[in-house]
Amino acid sequence: MAHHRWYWGVVIRVDSARELLSAIADAVDGENVRAQDPRTGHITLFYAPLRGRRDGPELAERVRAVIAVREPFSITCSGFGEFASATRPVAWLGVQQGAEAVLSLRESLCTRDQDCHHHAYVPHLTLAYGEEAAAYTAVRETLREHTGSTACTTRVDAVWIAGFPQNGHPARDLRYVERIPFAGQ
């Protein structure tokens, strides 16, 4: 059966986190704790409403003007953090350097479409999702140990339109569909 509805968003790729995400996946990945796929480490800037599976380019067109005037900047992700939840805790690294640029970019993007992010926005790189709270609690220290003093630095010169099917999972099913470069890129 085809996936008719998709979650679409605008993200910053954090390819510098690939090694860390691979180590986390080797240590904790399963059905009850899902590590972010090492190929799709990212910082979500914006979530659009559910749309059709071919609607990524439409979102790209709406945000292109915002992106075309942006200058490249650098970010550094470090510092273990968590979104505590009884149903789906999330482990992450915070954006320690470059957070102001990320927040400014997000603010501009939110003028182009309806943002469906339902929580206070905290710039972060997701490491793992706890699909079952007790399983997550059992690996929390392992996650914290893997992050240690890790710092993932990335030069941001573009954003990506990314999505995953409504019945999919952002850790495993996220797909990058279009790169939108900043000014002069």
Which of the residues in the chain have pLDDT under 70? Answer: 1-3, 185
Report pLDDT for 167. 87
Domains of the chain: 5-181 (3.90.1140.10)
> Model's pTM, two decimal places?
0.91
pLDDT of residue 2: 53
- Quick one: pLDDT at residue 1? 46
- pLDDT digit string (tens) for 130-148? 999 899 999 999 999 999 8
The runs of H, that is alpha helices, within the chain are 18-28, 56-68, 99-109, 133-147, 170-173
Going by C-alpha positions, the residue among 79, 119, 81, 76 that lies closest to residue 101 is 76
